[in-house]
Structure 1
Amino acid sequence: MKSKIYEYNNKKTKMTMSKKINLILALAVAITFTACKKDATTESPETTQQEVKSDAKIVSLNGAISETIAALGHADQLVGRDVTSTFPTDLTAKDLGHVGRGMTIEGIMSVNPTLIIGTAKEENPDLMTKIKESGIKLELVNQEYSVEGAKNLIKKVAEILGNADVQKLNDKIDADIAQVQPIEKKPKVLFIYARGTHMLNVSGTGTPMDALIKIAGGENAVTGFSDFKTLTPESLIQGNPDIILMFDSGSQSLGGLEGVLKIPGMEQTNAGKNKKIITMDGGLISNFGPRTGEAALELNKKLIEATK
């Protein structure tokens, strides 16, 4: 009898211990699950990365990048900019580190950035190497001189900043492009980059000016080369543009309209004979960022007026 009671009690004890073990395991699983869930919601890599992005101190190496950062609402995170970063105008008014075209790693490091953004076409490979060696996060964005290229640049910069609000910027570009009017007889337009009389270059194919002229309804007066070449009287006469396009600052460096008309060979072109000189803001023409549609529309209106 005692043996049976002992066997029964032993079974009862085993069952009780089994239940306790199961309960302990269940609690352990629950605690682990809760901890994992907490980690997933408060300390996930994505959230941490988002927090880093929102606190990033940014140096921009490109005017289009700076303009896009500002348009996306992150201008207050900029601590340094290059010389082409002139829009919006409050960027030039702010006390930002001016890292310039001839920027150095020392100049960049002096503003203590945590993020550097430029374009993949940045021309200083030595500087890019030094930035990578510094350990500062570097993001290089592809830049294509087209409407879709501008939208892609906006999208990429937004992704870098953890910002998904790009639709209104794209809608603005589309709305402006929709207002561009076709020009029946496309004028031949020559873009001249000037920094005084001793530096005159003309824009060939593959440049932002070449792309903008086409979007606005004109055609580039020179197509025999890509990028920029020094302007000569012979090439100016041979190209025989109907209209000259320049930066406001470029025209001013020559003394305004009268100075532009004194460029050797100009008086023998249609543009020179008819005094068809168009000037526009440099950043607006060349950035191919959020104001791409605005730039195309403004140039389109000026071309239509000049061809009347």
Structure 2
Amino acid sequence: MKTLAKKLAAMASTAVLVLTFGNSWAAAPERVISAGHSITELVLALGGGDSLIAVDSSTRLPADFPKVPVVGYYRQLPVEGLLAQNPQLLVGGDHMGPANTLQLLKDSGVAVLQLSEAENGEQLLANIDRLSGVLGKPAAELSKLVVAQLRALKRARATLSTPPRILFVRAQQGRGVKAAGTGTSPDSLIRLAGGVNAVDFSGYKQLSDEALLQLRPDWILFSNDQAEQLRGGAALLEWQPLLKLTPAGKKQAFYSVDGYALLGGIGLASLSEAKKLNEKFAGK
């Protein structure tokens, strides 16, 4: 604790950056920590890689990016691990925390920026605009690319004669199936791709065998971190036999979603994954 107190005092005595006019900084930060894969994607896409000094464990960096320290998980960031990097700015999403860590950083003079976890393309564009102002990087090129991808997705959604019913699950043998409802990243991805979430509750909830049958999903999605465990979906049919009677079960319509497209709301990886999903829905 003495080490932490000294670090806090030292950094507080040299306040690093000042946030002014909502989105603009007195000076562009040169030492940035990014927490959350979708946020780090934006930092890099905006040309902020030179200032990136550390990331959290949910971030997948490009293979050719220089190695940087990993400082915990974005929901449980350690104060000392962050301060040891002498950052000027910590940027992340709504769920970055815990709150006491963020407050200690602010008290020490570290700027903290939390972007909304985008549920749609408009919110993603707003995040790009806000982050570009903070980093002092132009957003026009990236925004133009994202707008083009969103328009292409809109056209692709319009070609689907009937939006398919989609169920996104997390499952373990003997522990049943949890489905992602509204207010979750899978729900945002499903809508972006042109599907309809088969459930209408919020968050994640356990489903009974009967509920799985009544939902009649056309497709069942899961994160690729479970792909091996679920054997591409085959294990689901063994663990939950009633799924065999659903449209998805009859066609074995399973799809493994890139887990990085589900971290921190709609991000750049989400746009690419939504395009792949839409093509699956369209039978391409």
- How would you bin the TM-score normalised by the shorter chain? 0.7 to 0.9
Contact 1:87 1:283 in 2 (8 A): no
Map of 1:31 onto structure 2: none
Q: CA deviation at 1:144?
A: 2.7
Match of 1:104 in 2: 78
2:166 matches 1:186: no
Match of 1:206 among 172, 177, 183: 183
Alignment partner of 1:294 is 2:267: no
Alignment partners' CA distance in 2, 1:84 and 1:215: 22
Structure with larger RCO (C-alpha < 8 A, sep 6+): 2
1:15-62: CA deviation from partner (whole Å, max 9, x where unpaired): xxxxxxxxxxxxxxxxxxxxxxxxxxxxxx999933x52x2x111122
Equivalent residue number for residue 233 of structure 1: 209
Q: Distance in 2 between matches of 1:195 and 1:84?
A: 22
Contact 1:67 1:88 in 2 (8 A): no
Secondary structure, aligned partner of 1:111: coil
Check conservation: 1:78, 1:96, Cα contact below 8 A.
Answer: no
Answer whether contact 2:38 2:269 (CA < 8 A) is retained.
no
- CA distance change for structure 1 residues 203 and 48 in 2, over 3 Å: closer, same or farther? closer
Contact 1:60/1:116 (<8 A) preserved: yes
**1:48–1:200: structure 2 CA closer, same or farther, 3 Å change rule?**
closer
Deviation at 1:199, TM superposition (A): 7.9
SS at match of 2:119: coil
Question: Is residue 154–residue 290 contact of structure 1 (8 Å, CA) maintained in 2?
Answer: no
One-letter code aligned to 1:119: G
- Max Rg structure: 1
| SS in structure 2 of the partner of residue 272 of structure 1 | helix
Q: Is the 8 A contact 1:196 1:250 kept in 2?
A: no
- Find the counterpart in structure 1 of residue 236 from structure 2: 260
Q: Percent identity?
A: 27
Residue 117 of structure 1 is matched in structure 2 by 91
Instruction: Please say which of residues 61-70 and 284-293 is displaced more in the overlay.
Output: 284-293
Which of the residues 39, 61, 67 maps onto 1:65? 39
1:158 pairs with 121, 126, 132, which one?
132
Q: Which residue of 2 aligns with 1:176?
A: 149
1:100 Cα deviation after fit: 1.8
Match of 1:242? 218
Inter-partner Cα distance in structure 2 for 1:197 and 1:108: 39
Find the counterpart in structure 2 of residue 144 from structure 1: 118
CA deviation vs aligned residue, 1:55-94 (integer Å, no higher than 9, x gap): 2x11112211101001111123222212221144455x72
- CA distance in 1 between counterparts of 2:107 and 2:146 reads 38
1:95 aligns with 2:68: yes
The 1:128/1:48 distance shift into structure 2, 3 A limit, reads closer
Which structure features the higher share of helix residues? 1
- SS across alignment from 2:39: helix
The answer on whether the counterparts of 1:222 and 1:239 sit within 8 Å (CA) in structure 2 is: yes
The equivalent of 1:6 in structure 2 is none
Structure 2 unmatched ranges of 5 or more: 1-19
Residue by residue over 1:176-200, the C-alpha shift from the partner in whole angstroms, topping out at 9 and shown as x without a partner, is 2333322111110011135777585
- Change in CA separation of 1:103 and 1:243 when aligned onto 2, cut-off 3 Å: same
Quote the residue 2:17 is aligned against. none
Q: Which runs of 4+ in 1 moved over 6 A?
A: 45-48
CA distance 1:280–1:127, change in 2 (3 Å) = same
Alpha-carbon deviation of 1:150?
0.7
Structure 1 residue identity aligned to 2:59: S
TM-score, scaled to structure 1: 0.74
Deviating more after overlay: 202-211 vs 147-156: 202-211
Gaps of 5+ in 1: 1-44
